[in-house]
Structure 1
Amino acid sequence: MVFKVAATGLNFSRFQSLWTWRFVLYRLCSTNKAPPFNGSYRGGGDMEKRILKVVSSGVKTKSVLENWVDEGGRVSMNELRVITRKLIKRRRFGPALEILNWMETQHSSQMTPYDYARRQELTVKEHGTIEAERYFESLTSTFSLKAASLPLLRCYVEERSTEKAEAFMLKINKLGLALSPHSFNEMLKLYKATSQYQKIPSVILLMKQNRITLNILSYNLWMDACGELSGVESAEMVYKEMLSDQNVEVGWSSLSTLANIYKKAGLTDKAILALKTAEKKISNSNHYPYFFLITQYTSLNNKDGVYRVWKASKAVNSPLTCANYMCILSSLVKLGDMREAERIFVEWESQCRTYDIRVSNILLGGYMRNGSVGKAESLHFRTLEKGGCPNSKTWEILVEGWLRSQQMDKAIDALKNGLAALKDYEWRPSPSIAVAITEYFKETKNFEKAIEFLATLRHFGLTYLQVYKSLLRMQTSREESPLYILEMMQNDGIDMDDEMMQNDF
């Protein structure tokens, strides 16, 4: 263990995309025609409206605030916090950071730990780790350092930088800043993400030695590590300790973790029992827990559990999202219940506002894998009629399905149509698709069609060694010179492998 604790206390349709870009271009043109902002915007007497109105035009939020003060306007720190939250919600991280910088510069005595933490989070988003490190080093008060430490540590964890995270953890412990479970939990998450499970018990021991209370996340990560290191019995001991800890309330997430440990150990009955207990712990305030359990029941091949939790999820007082429908459809397709998947798909179609092609792709893939090509084709045409815009996954499912059913003409047409439709999205089909089509031409001895297909691939910047090898075999079988194909390989920057060198192409 490197550190020690110091002893201290949607996928939109093309039609919508066009209108989105027309709107953006209109706004850009309008902005260009308007006179430049001179720091004295007088669009009203509401500071929030002023900021939100000019934030997309490149005007510095600081200028708006300073102008507001020069005009005699009053500045409320709470109002600035509200504006900051709205900007973050709109993903306007730069302007939000400018407001927090201004708050810190002008009213540092009124800055709260939350303000410092949020400022550090935005610094990471806008300027990266190095600038966040500089900001941390510039702070002097204990409470500001403590508030800014967690976002920086979290940044190291997200980068999977074990060395930096451990060094920083050592530093904040020496400063007496790591007095809550949150920073330790970040280290536990890091060790799990990097499969360094052997380090997790040492972190838990340090927390206990320094009387840092373990929370649910601490226990879950510890339990999971014990399952990986020592097996079921060790994980069950952690679970029992959690049950006896009056500071935590065991919820669905802990039982879900335990169920996953049982599943890995092949104890299916115990896993299902743990999930059934987890169902009783779910609050119907949001959908997430239900669909997490649905995924676990699916992995256990337990249809009854999937149906039961799906039905229970309807009790949540908010609409189901496309992601929710994708989850249940994916589960039903994996379980082979296409009839129920079709019923739920129709339910989704009846209430969706925007036709999300990702939802229909799940059913489309299920049909193609099951060999129900006719149903897949009917579904594809239906999605087009309803305004669905095929994405790369759609075309890949169609091409692979038609290849599998030996409907080569349809597969080739779909590949060409998909490449043409998605040329701006840099779709790169699986090499196996291109190779399968080339091999088909080889078997049917249709060299001209193979060359035509190669031209299509090259037109879209797709070049594969295996395709060229198939063409070279075709050419040599025709007892013709392969020089033309070798020249194309050279132009495409593809080198010959050992097999080709041995065959002396």
Structure 2
Amino acid sequence: MHSTIFSLLVLKVSSGSAMKLRSRFQPEAVGSYRRLLCSLAASTHSVEESSMKSTITKKSIKSEILRSKSPTRSPIAVLQDWIKSGHKVTISELRFISLQLQKSKRYHHALEIMKWMEAQKGFQISSADHATRIELILKVQGLTEAEEYFSQIRGTANQKAASLPLLHGYVKERAVEKAESLMMKLNELGLLVSPHPFNEMMKLYMATSQYDKVPAVIMQMKQNRIPTNILSFNLWMNACGEVSGVAAVEAIYREIMNNGNVEVGWSTLCTLANVYVKAGLVEKAVLVLKNAEKKLNTSKHLGYFFLITMYVSINNKEGVIRVWEACKSVSGRMTCGNYMCMLSCLVKLGDLVEAEKVFVEWESNCKNYDVRVSNVLLAAYVRNGLMEKAEAFHVYVLEKGGCPNYKTWEILMEGWVRSQDMEKAIDAMKKSFAMMKGCHWRPSEAILMSIVEYYEKHGNFQHANHLIRMIHHFGLASLPLYKVLLRMHINAQRPAFNILKMMVKDKIEMNGETSACFSSLCKRESARE
């Protein structure tokens, strides 16, 4: 008989100040939720997908829908046309199509397929279908709609399958009360039989700095004889590291070692090492990390880069290089992201020579010249005051086929402003502005202020006015920027009514100095009249 879960969660495990968790040392947390859903769906769909792959012809409902990539054309219209023309469609085909649409990140269309499928009387909807639909609703519509759909699901098996993606949605939105309410409902229905929902709750408490609630979740799992997996232990260790100290974490680690159902891997050892690092026990951390190196998987790169970042955090270059060299023997190509991580780590360690070697290695292996990789080295040159080297490197990247992005121009802008090469900085700013329509990047106010002040110093009224209008257009204007432009209007004896209109539109309130500037301009205009 399950006890009421959250009667325990309100208990305080210990007192003490809570520090912000470095959650990056929970690598299995990233994939555990997705793996669970995939395994759930696989039990229903794996045979169907296999048969689909062998029978789909060039002209099929699958190819008809996937070929039409227009966001405005509904796949339901294609389905209906297909059926009207005398064809049939099976639930296996619809599941396969929905899966392919999700892989292409066409979540809205995938949701339409699932809705249509569930509305048909001749199809038997599985528990995995309900879970998939909840997940898609969360991506496309949000929590409220997902909750509404969940409330309509009947049958304990269906509710159990759909509860995990909904709970994951609560965790993502940091909705603690809703997550706790859902857990209480699942507990009353007797549906809390695996560690996965409990792990989600612990992740939520960690994310909201409620570390003292995590041990209570573990206690509830033990009382209800829910098996604790390695993620459960890692979350528990991290929480105790925040509120109870090293001794409590070491006690948990000993419990893991005595638990025959879980295997200690590199992730658990990284978690322990991180606790030691925070406590200033660097020597202990190094010993644990060396042990973790022995646990690394020779078929996946992920663990190697967690260890590399751990060694960087304790300024251990020897460990970084050792793990990097071992990483090269792992099967499969390293991604641009892997090289960016290694370059960033070497830059943090201040070893630009080694970073250059890694960059040359990337160049020899890359298929496409990804400017994000070269940007890491470019930024290192700029921030170390090596502008000549940065400019030469930028030209080299262009010659190799690299296409600058907004970050490239931001890095160069920063360097040229620092070295007072303002004309080059202005040129880079114009090029970065041309890219702003397609991304969320925005230049820093400090850079913009430097350029506007440069215009003021040289009395370049027209260029300053044009820049402020552009800044206003992108919603980047601030009171200090407008103050510079106001001073320039006063010096140039120009009217400033347009500036006032822009400030009102940008909802920027005037301070005493700005009001005085406007008063001065207004008096001058009145005198002229």
TM-score, normalised to structure 2's length? 0.79
Q: RCO greater where, 1 or 2, for CA within 8 Å and sep 6 or more?
A: 2
- Cα separation, 2, equivalents of 1:98 and 1:475: 56
Q: Which residue type is aligned with residue 231 of structure 2?
A: L
CA displacement at 1:413 relative to structure 2: 2.7
Q: Deviations over 1:41-89 (max 9, x none)?
A: x9866454344345758353586389569957583x5555444322221
- Cα separation, 1, equivalents of 2:220 and 2:365: 52
1:459 alignment partner, one of 470, 475, 483:
470
Q: Which residue type is aligned with residue 305 of structure 1?
A: G
- Cα separation, 2, equivalents of 1:488 and 1:55: 44
**Cα distance change on mapping 1:421 and 1:53 into 2, 3 Å:** closer
- Cα separation, 1, equivalents of 2:512 and 2:439: 34
| Range moving further from structure 2, 63-72 or 324-333 | 63-72
Q: Secondary structure at the match of 1:281?
A: coil
- Cα separation, 2, equivalents of 1:426 and 1:96: 26
The answer as to whether partners of 2:130 and 2:162 remain within 8 angstroms in 1 is: yes
**Cα distance change on mapping 1:69 and 1:266 into 2, 3 Å:** farther
Q: Secondary structure at the match of 2:332?
A: coil
Are 2:99 and 1:85 equivalent residues in the alignment? Answer: yes
- Cα separation, 2, equivalents of 1:99 and 1:464: 46
**Cα distance change on mapping 1:335 and 1:91 into 2, 3 Å:** same
Are 2:64 and 1:64 equivalent residues in the alignment? Answer: no
Q: Secondary structure at the match of 2:401?
A: coil
Corresponding residue for 1:449? 460
Instruction: Work out the number of aligned pairs and report it.
Output: 462
The answer as to whether partners of 1:93 and 1:126 remain within 8 angstroms in 2 is: yes
Unaligned runs of 5+ residues in structure 2 are 9-55, 521-529
Unaligned runs of 5+ residues in structure 1 are 6-41
**Cα distance change on mapping 1:111 and 1:464 into 2, 3 Å:** closer
- Cα separation, 2, equivalents of 1:124 and 1:467: 40
RMSD: 3.1
Are 2:161 and 1:147 equivalent residues in the alignment? Answer: yes
Q: Secondary structure at the match of 2:294?
A: helix
CA displacement at 1:115 relative to structure 2: 3.1
CA displacement at 1:406 relative to structure 2: 2.5
1:394 alignment partner, one of 408, 424, 429:
408
Sequence identity (%): 51
Matches within 5 A, 1:14-413: 46-54=60-68, 58-61=73-76, 64=79, 67=82, 71=86, 75=90, 78=92, 80-101=94-115, 104=118, 111-413=125-427
Q: Which residue type is aligned with residue 359 of structure 2?
A: F
The answer as to whether partners of 1:256 and 1:278 remain within 8 angstroms in 2 is: yes
- Cα separation, 2, equivalents of 1:292 and 1:350: 24
TM-score, normalised to structure 1's length? 0.82
The answer as to whether partners of 2:489 and 2:495 remain within 8 angstroms in 1 is: no
CA displacement at 1:190 relative to structure 2: 0.6
**Cα distance change on mapping 1:474 and 1:343 into 2, 3 Å:** same
Q: Which residue type is aligned with residue 353 of structure 2?
A: R
- Cα separation, 1, equivalents of 2:190 and 2:67: 43
Corresponding residue for 2:28? none
Q: Deviations over 1:428-485 (max 9, x none)?
A: 311111222344456xx42x22652342232343433223334556777x6x86x745
Q: Secondary structure at the match of 1:374?
A: helix
CA displacement at 1:323 relative to structure 2: 0.5
- Cα separation, 2, equivalents of 1:67 and 1:109: 17
- Cα separation, 2, equivalents of 1:378 and 1:287: 33
| Range moving further from structure 2, 229-238 or 492-501 | 492-501
Q: Secondary structure at the match of 1:88?
A: helix
CA displacement at 1:2 relative to structure 2: 7.6
- Cα separation, 2, equivalents of 1:329 and 1:343: 10
The answer as to whether partners of 1:204 and 1:222 remain within 8 angstroms in 2 is: yes
Corresponding residue for 2:6? 3
Q: Which residue type is aligned with residue 410 of structure 1?
A: K
**Cα distance change on mapping 1:219 and 1:88 into 2, 3 Å:** same
CA displacement at 1:363 relative to structure 2: 0.4
- Cα separation, 2, equivalents of 1:491 and 1:469: 12
The answer as to whether partners of 1:55 and 1:61 remain within 8 angstroms in 2 is: no
